[in-house]
Amino acid sequence: MIHNEEEQLEKKIEKNQDPKINHKKYDSDNLIKKNLIQFLEIQLKESEEKIIEKEEIVEKEIVLIHNRFNKEIEKSIKFSLEKIIIDFLPIIDNIERALNLIETINLKKEKYTEILKKLQFICNLLEKFFYLFNIKKINDTNVLFNPSIHQAMSIHYTNDIISNQIVTVMQSGYILHKSRLLRPAMVVVSKEKI
């Protein structure tokens, strides 16, 4: 019974309500919904911009990592022979010493000329190997002393040559790919007499 009375009361209220009031309520709800939609659209747009910004950052980082990785691989390949070549340098030095000794003594015997030809052939092969793997020999004389590629073993006092110039190369040095010193050249450097 109480329930019926409530229903009847509600019906009377609805009948007696002013339609303008109801319309205002509808407009107010619509305005709230529009504002909410605008707010959510703004938030969505900001979120999309942040996502795009983060994607760009991640893409840049991926490119940087890729480039760094490629440089490391290139460097590893480029300098992979370094240790082998350094270990091989004393053998090259001894072959050159033997060649110079035979040429200096100028032995005319047939067995020495055959050895000389074979040593020259080996030296030519080594030069091709150096060229192929971009190894530069440091053995120039009459150039200025450069402490980054030369090691001064002795000083030659003279007024015939300008000071701080390479007079003699005692042992050749080697550079790999124009940037990595395998071994400095051991040299005699000139200095003015006082």
DSSP 29-82: HHHHHHHHHHHHHHHHHHHHHHHHHHHHHHHHHHHHHHHHHHHHHHHHHHTTTH
How much is the pLDDT for 5? 59
The rounded average pLDDT for each run of 10 residues, N- to C-terminus, in the chain (194 residues) is 57 53 63 86 93 95 95 84 89 89 72 82 92 92 94 91 92 91 95 85
In DSSP notation, 159-178 reads: SSS-TTBEEEEEE-EEEETT
- At residue 103, φ and ψ (nearest 5 deg) are -65, -35
154 — phi, psi (to 5°)? Answer: -155, 160
